[in-house]
Amino acid sequence: MPTLALNADLVLPVSQATAWNALHDLTLLVDSLPADARLAAGDAAHSFALALPGFEGRVLLLDIERPSRLRLSFEGQGPRTGGATGQAQFRLESLGAYRTLVHVALVIQAERQVPSKIVGLDLLRARLAAFEAAVDRRHPADRPKPVTPPPKPWPQRLLDWYLGWFAGMFNGTLFPPPKPRQRRPRARR
């Protein structure tokens, strides 16, 4: 059985309690799925029905340690993958009042060979990025996002390079002095 494994970290701009609630909010989770996907509460407690393009399955919450850890399992059928099973674990760590680090560990096993593991991992990373964007849309941060500084004008970059090169000439980093040779004792004849 082919296996896909993904370990990733997300930094959400919300408190740990809000991040925990986001992991359980069905409407927010649906916002992070593709447009034609469905997620609905299942028939048993802590279960959900999941329908993606080319995949239908069931998600079951296994371990819940509020508000720091969540483990779930899923199983389903798809025409390309056949039967697929997997587990995901989400571990939340507070990075302050308004930032949370979410460690994600995901393992999926499929009956049939998936077309490409790289494509599959990229799709999983895209879903995690979509979840991060959905949380950001729903709970916008009070602080502004960091702005990358504009590039320096070319004369300033040229001057910086030249001064760095000039300093390297005199402090020995550009042309280091040669290493001393070890003297070998002369052989007597």
| 157 lies in some domain | no
| 68 lies in some domain | yes
Instruction: Give the count of domains, the chain.
Output: 1
Q: Evaluate whether 46 touches 60 at the Cβ level (below 8 Å).
A: yes
Question: What's the whole-model pTM score?
Answer: 0.67
pLDDT digits (tens, 9 = 90+) for 21-63: 888 887 888 888 877 888 887 777 778 888 887 788 888 888 7
b/e code 127-139 from CB counts within 10 Å (16+ = b): bbeebbebbeeeb
Which CATH number fits the domain that encloses residue 95?
Answer: 3.30.530.20
Distance CA 57, CA 76 (A): 4
pLDDT digits (tens, 9 = 90+) for 82-123: 888 888 899 999 888 788 888 988 888 888 766 667 777 888
Given a cut of 70, whether residue 143 has pLDDT beyond it is: no
| 173 lies in some domain | no
| 183 lies in some domain | no
Query: Residue 76: beta bridge partners?
Result: 57, 84
- The domain in which residue 29 lies consists of 3-138
| 98 lies in some domain | yes
**Residue 153: band (very low, low, confident or very high) from pLDDT cuts 50, 70, 90:** very high
Distance CA 80, CA 55 (A): 9
| 159 lies in some domain | no
| 66 lies in some domain | yes
